[in-house]
């Protein structure tokens, strides 16, 4: 049986601005997405039973059709029925390291890895842009996860413009294992509180989307100035999540006590990260946070920013 092993990196948001509403019911967004070294491993193998079979070493991950990994495989079956008939079904094994429901695109990056893996198994020869088009049918973060690195994302998150990312920049990432924040709740609440300030007309909406490409944080990223990037980090969803979830607010306040470049919640949370100038500093901050908050429910990781998405390792 043919098989592949793939590494699926998590992502954080360095910037998240909610601009307005879209006709499809989603929000118009301007974001800067960044891949990090913290990653899941996915093993994908052909089988001869014409089935999609999914296994995972985490009990927190559903094994049914609600799982994005299953839906990614199912999408490939529906898009390429002749290849499915020729090569058969797939066995997919997930080794989870990215925290679940953490605002880190864990499910999205796993789904992206399955698209890449099946493309290889079935010898489809899809281009990156073709894979991204398929990914957009599944979710807003998944196109980014294909190539990863650093990118400006607009639309609902699926329109990507690559940036030259930061090199050798480390982060400390923290998330309460049992704490989840509903992404639909976060956006719905933001709309109810701040919808009156949304840009309504197409011309100004387009101008604001375009403006992020020349914004200060993009300039700082292009100039490889991590401290300036940290100063310009922004996440609109903090306005609704931090007041409602005091544990997330406390994490951010705790990070800010130490000698870091900057701290922010990623996506809709509840993960919080601190940007650090070196690995040694990140390890020091991790120890400080662990001593300050000895709760065993709190997961803390030291990882770094990377310039790639899905990788095939074997």
Chain centre to alpha carbon of residue 177: 17
Alpha-carbon distance values, 85 to 26, 78, 140 (Å): 36, 11, 29
Binding site members: 99-109
The active-site residue, picked from 110, 141, 252, 281, is 141
Tell me the C-alpha distance between 248 and 88, whole Å.
45
Q: Which residues of the chain form CATH 3.30.230.10? A: 3-165
- Length reported for the chain: 314
The CATH T-level fold of domain 3-165 is Ribosomal Protein S5; domain 2 (3.30.230)
| Active-site annotation holds for 119 | no
Angle of helix 68-79 relative to helix 128-136, nearest 10 degrees, comes to 120
Q: Are 241 and 103 in contact (CB under 8 A)?
A: no
| Active-site annotation holds for 209 | no
CB within 8 Å of 18: residues ≥ 6 apart? 27, 28, 29, 187, 190, 194, 198, 236, 237
Q: Report the pLDDT value the prediction gives residue 24, as an integer from 0 to 100.
A: 79
Tell me the C-alpha distance between 244 and 181, whole Å.
10
Q: Report the pLDDT value the prediction gives residue 63, as an integer from 0 to 100.
A: 74
Q: Report the pLDDT value the prediction gives residue 206, as an integer from 0 to 100.
A: 85
Q: Report the pLDDT value the prediction gives residue 188, as an integer from 0 to 100.
A: 95
This prediction has a pTM of: 0.94
The active-site residue, picked from 11, 209, 252, 286, is 11
Q: Report the pLDDT value the prediction gives residue 214, as an integer from 0 to 100.
A: 81
Which pLDDT tens digits describe the chain residue by residue (314 residues)?
689 999 999 999 999 999 998 877 788 899 999 999 999 999 999 998 889 999 999 887 877 788 899 999 999 999 999 999 999 999 999 999 999 889 999 999 999 999 999 999 999 999 999 999 999 999 889 999 999 999 999 988 888 999 988 878 999 999 999 999 999 999 999 999 999 989 888 888 888 888 888 889 999 999 999 999 999 999 999 999 999 999 999 999 999 999 999 999 999 999 999 999 999 999 999 999 999 999 999 999 999 999 999 999 98
Q: Which residues of the chain form CATH 3.30.70.890? A: 170-304
Q: Report the pLDDT value the prediction gives residue 116, as an integer from 0 to 100.
A: 98
Binding site members for ATP: 99-109
What CATH architecture applies to the domain 170-304?
Answer: 2-Layer Sandwich (3.30)
């Amino acid at each position: 049986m043919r098989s592949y092993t793939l590494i699926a990196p998590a992502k954080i948001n360095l910037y998240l601005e909610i601009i307005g509403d879209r006709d499809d019911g989603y929000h118009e967004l301007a974001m800067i997405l960044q891949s990090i070294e913290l990653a899941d491993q996915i093993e994908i193998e052909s089988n001869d039973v014409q089935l999609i079979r999914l296994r995972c070493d985490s009990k927190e991950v559903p094994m049914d059709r609600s799982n994005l990994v299953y839906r990614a495989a199912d999408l490939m079956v529906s898009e390429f029925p002749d290849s499915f008939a020729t090569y058969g079904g797939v066995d997919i094994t997930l080794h989870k390291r990215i925290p679940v429901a953490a605002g880190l695109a864990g499910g999205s990056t796993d789904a992206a890895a399955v698209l890449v893996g099946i493309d290889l198994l079935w010898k489809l020869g899809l281009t990156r842009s073709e894979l991204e088009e398929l990914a957009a049918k599944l979710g807003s973060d998944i196109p980014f996860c294909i190539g990863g690195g650093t990118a400006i994302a607009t639309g609902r998150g699926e329109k990507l413009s690559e940036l030259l990312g930061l090199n050798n920049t480390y982060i400390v990432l923290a998330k309460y294992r049992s704490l989840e924040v509903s992404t639909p709740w976060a956006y719905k609440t933001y709309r109810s509180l701040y919808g009156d300030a949304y840009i309504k007309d197409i011309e100004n909406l387009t101008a604001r989307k375009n403006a992020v490409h020349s914004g200060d944080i993009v300039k700082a990223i292009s100039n490889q100035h991590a401290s300036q990037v940290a100063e310009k980090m922004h996440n609109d969803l903090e306005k609704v999540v931090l007041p409602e979830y005091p544990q997330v607010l406390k994490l951010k306040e705790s990070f800010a006590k130490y000698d870091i470049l900057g701290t922010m919640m990623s996506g809709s949370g509840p993960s919080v990260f601190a940007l650090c100038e070196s690995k040694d500093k990140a390890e020091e901050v991790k120890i400080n946070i662990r001593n300050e908050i000895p709760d065993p429910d709190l997961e803390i990781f030291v990882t770094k920013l990377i310039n790639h998405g899905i990788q095939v390792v074997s």
